[in-house]
């Protein structure tokens, strides 16, 4: 297993669209393991493949307090949504920024699990928001894309400054 570098906003590669997984083979299984390890090490509660520069429709999430409830979503699709959520979101690709963006409070999602088996999950609250956030990444969308242009520019400046300081 390996820790993968997480692309940092405003990296244009974060805006690429991921492709559906056609077979859960060894390479995909390894990617999922590496993504989970990377997410836990960050630490974070969700990671999409596009964030580690892998253009597959794969999301890993663990929002449990014990960090031992890994959820894997391959080719996820939201088939129902309702309500309006009220969570501040953060993102491993935009460290230190937390904002509210419009999300459904309750969703039904269909996906394949890490073994390639179909499943359906009803989620609400933080988990529902997290799934929507990570699925956006698969379509090349970062949560700050929902914010005003001015706010986006400020965040991009802040990120660049942080990186210069870190370098």
Q: Which residues bind Ni ion (CB under 5 A)?
A: 91
Minimum Å distance from CB 45 to Ni ion?
10
Beta bridge partners of 110: 77, 120
**Residues in CB range of 95: below 8 A, 6 or more apart:** 8, 162
Pair 47, 58: CB distance under 8 Å: no
**Among 76, 71, 33, which Cα is nearest to 57's?**
76
Token pair listed for 166: 């870190």
Minimum Å distance from CB 61 to Ni ion?
11
37 a catalytic residue:
no
Q: Which is nearer to Ni ion, 91 or 135 (CB)?
A: 91
Catalytic residue of the set 88, 89, 120, 134: 134
Minimum Å distance from CB 116 to Ni ion?
25
Minimal CB distance residue for Ni ion: 91
Active site (catalytic) residues: 134
């Amino acid at each position: 297993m390996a820790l993968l570098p997480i692309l940092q906003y405003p990296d244009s590669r974060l805006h690429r669209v991921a492709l559906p997984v056609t077979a859960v083979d060894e390479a995909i299984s390894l990617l999922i393991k590496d993504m989970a390890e990377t997410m836990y090490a960050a630490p974070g509660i969700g990671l999409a493949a596009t964030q580690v520069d892998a253009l597959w429709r794969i999301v890993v999430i663990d929002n449990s307090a014990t960090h031992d409830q890994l959820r894997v979503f391959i080719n996820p699709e939201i088939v129902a949504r309702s309500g309006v959520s009220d969570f501040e979101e953060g993102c491993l690709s935009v460290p230190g920024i937390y904002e509210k963006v419009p999300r459904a409070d309750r969703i039904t999602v269909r996906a394949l699990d890490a073994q390639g088996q179909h499943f359906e999950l009803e989620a609400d609250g933080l988990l529902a928001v997290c799934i929507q956030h990570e699925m956006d990444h698969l379509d090349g969308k970062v949560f700050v894309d929902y914010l005003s242009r001015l706010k986006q520019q400020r965040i991009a400046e802040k990120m660049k400054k942080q990186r210069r300081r870190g370098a």
